[in-house]
Amino acid sequence: MTGGVKSLFRRVLRLVVLLGAAGSAAVLGGAYWLNQAYRQPGPLEAEATVVIERGAGGAEIAGQLADAGVIGNPYVFLLGTRFAGLGGALQAGEYRFPPGISAQAAAEMLATGATRVHRITLPEGLTSKQVVGLLQDIETLVGEVDGVPPEGSLLPETYHFARGDRREHIVARMTQAMERTLAELWPARAADLPFDTAEEALILASIVEKEAALPEERPRIAAVFINRLRIGMPLQADPTVAYAVSDGEGSLARPLTRADLRAPSPYNTYAVTGLPPGPIANPGRDSIRAVLNPAVTDELYFVADGTGGHAFARTLAEHNRNVAKWRAHQRRNTGQSASD
């Protein structure tokens, strides 16, 4: 017997004692009927979601559940919750009720606040502005994000939330998750990396995130950029140029042009050496780990290979051959040529 039903029977027994033998039969009969009706499967045929607004009273909640087909008799629900001592414990929120749920089980869901859980999966490589846009589109969230968070400060992963949670609180959780990730991974970094701070690692990780088409290539791509940093060679990363010429939007609806590659900007890694002044996106945990523990290689170049990954090279001559193969592949498949 559940706690709610035990409470119901304790109340009934007290009432029987007060009424004496004359009224006990009627009271016990009514209590038996109420208990059965309260516990029996309800009429709901398919899963249903019901939103209980703040301030709703027991009678209003019972009517709402009856209108949604969750329960058959609102009076059974109302009396059952009162006798079980749950009348004042029903909580607002969004609830997902399974088929056939009893009035008792529905009441216990509302009393324990077992609200429906939503989730958002933040993809790797989005800019902070794009993340804010995603949050703004979620109608079950409330509130406004005060400005765009710093680029690279939000960790891409899956976040759970309930209806009515505030957007700024989700952003705060994303920020805290990134801080925890950096604090965890930074101490385990490889020796002799060509940068001194976790913030610089985050910048490079954002570039790796935008360049890596295949997850398994992240450590190798990170190694190429780290090798370039070590010898003072420009990174020449197309995503940094796209970030510069798109005014921080992070992507372009067109291919980069030679004029773009010459555009003056501290984010144009064709025009300047070293790291750009900040991240160009929000990198995921794997890209951060790849930058802190890159593959061991002397490769300095990579280009798309036409299969979804990249062809890597140690010398410029080898790289030029790979570029020629990539251009030939593009001509065969799209009739277009690619810039270096």
Answer for the pair 201, 288: CB distance below 8 angstroms, yes or no.
yes
Q: How many helices (H) and strands (E) does the chain have?
A: 13, 6
pLDDT value of residue 193: 97
Q: Report the DSSP beta bridge partners of residue 310.
A: 304
**pLDDT at 337 (0 to 100):** 42
pLDDT of residue 292: 98
Per-residue model confidence (pLDDT) at position 339: 41
Residues in the chain where the model's pLDDT stays below 70: 1-30, 334-340
pLDDT at 251: 77
Tens of pLDDT, residues 11-25: 555 544 554 444 555
DSSP secondary structure letter of residue 314: S
CB 278 within 8 A of CB 152: yes
Report pLDDT digits (tens) over 256-315.
899 999 989 999 999 999 999 999 999 999 999 999 999 999 999 999 888 889 999 999
**β-pair type (118-121, 158-161):** antiparallel
Q: How many CB atoms lie within 10 A of CB 63?
A: 16
Q: How far apart are CA 279 and CA 152, in angstroms?
A: 5
Rounded to the nearest 10 degrees, the angle between the axes of helix 198-211 and helix 285-292 is 120
Residues 6+ apart with CB under 8 A from 276: 203, 207, 240, 243, 266, 267, 269
Cα–Cα distance between 31 and 8 in angstroms, integer? 9
Residue 227 in tokens: 């090798």
